[in-house]
Structure 1
Amino acid sequence: MAVPARPSSLPRTTSAVEDYLERISELIQTKGYARVVDIAAELKISQASVSTMVQRLDAEGLVKYEKYRGMVLTETGQAVAAHIAHRHELLTQFLGLLGLDADVISHDVEGMEHHVSPETFAALGRLTAHLEAHPDLVAKLRQPE
């Protein structure tokens, strides 16, 4: 499962922007909508901070925000969120193959997903695909020394 390099059509984003887009996308998928109060609860930060960032995301064309009503991802915001979700899924899948605990995986993925280069993601994608095709190797990796 190779992660394609960030398409040149996608804007450069910060870790904070990516965290917001990831949460907004997840909320829309699970609840059908995303509101400032929901994002604040998910990210454990103040609603005022979320409002400021959401207004920035709106100005950057990543979300369409209406005060007191909520927001939706723009086409560009959806593309960035899909790219982020794909990276998250790849890291989760790779670490899962190593037999790590789900809580460890979740914690580590959150720390890693924004700080790994496209080249490393591509290599991890190739390695993950190889390991999935060779369960005997996965079994050997999971054996204690």
Structure 2
Amino acid sequence: MGMGRGQAMPDADKQAANFQRVREAHQVEVAEDYVELIADLIEATGEARAADIARRLGVSHPTVVKAIGRLQRDGLVESLPYRSVFLTESGRAMAERSKRRHEVVLGFLKALGVADETAERDAEGIEHHVSDETLSAFERFIRDSR
């Protein structure tokens, strides 16, 4: 999907800004995945340990430790070495918003007739990129299709 010979390149500053927005969006997406999983683990088992987070996300323990450090700096979790991870108030709020978006996107895909397993897999990526306007449209569609 490269550029053909002789085609003008996009403006470098605009292109750099677009890539920066994508990187920032990805960081938010990762944070949302972590806080949502941490909330689910705490709800299900009473605690969220780095080893459990790593296993469920399919990443290494050092990757989780590094991510938890970032989440801690961002004020979303609290953690002590060799202890469970806990969500701050901000982390809980992010987890609730993310979970709600996930449920709406999942419900929308299922209302379209997408198989449960596929809908669950696809919702996992879509939920992070849906605007509030689109989410509201999904909710209206679900409500009107019942």
Q: Report TM bin, short chain.
A: 0.7 to 0.9
- Rounded to whole Å, the distance in 1 between the matches of 2:125 and 2:69 is 25
What is the match of residue 15 of structure 1?
29
What is the match of residue 112 of structure 1?
126
What is the match of residue 40 of structure 1?
54
Aligned pairs for 1:128-139 within 5 A = 128-132=142-146
Shift of 1:123: 1.2
Aligned length: 121
Whose Rg is larger? 2
Identity of aligned residues (%): 40
Summarize deviations over 1:58-90 as a string: whole Å, max 9, x none. Answer: 111111111101111111110110000000011
SS of 2:128's equivalent? coil
Shift of 1:92: 1.2
What is the match of residue 75 of structure 1?
89
Structure 1 unaligned residues grouped into runs of 5+: 1-11, 133-145
Letter in 2 for 1:35: R
Which one of the candidate residues 25, 38, 48 is aligned to 1:24?
Answer: 38
SS of 1:72's equivalent? strand
Letter in 2 for 1:95: L
Letter in 2 for 1:44: G
Letter in 2 for 1:72: F
- Rounded to whole Å, the distance in 1 between the matches of 2:114 and 2:138 is 16
Moved over 3 A (4+): none
Which one of the candidate residues 128, 132, 136 is aligned to 1:122?
Answer: 136
SS of 1:14's equivalent? helix
Normalising by structure 2, we get a TM-score of: 0.78
Letter in 2 for 1:121: L
Summarize deviations over 1:16-43 as a string: whole Å, max 9, x none. Answer: 1111111111111111100100000011
Structure 2 unaligned residues grouped into runs of 5+: 1-24
- Rounded to whole Å, the distance in 1 between the matches of 2:94 and 2:52 is 20
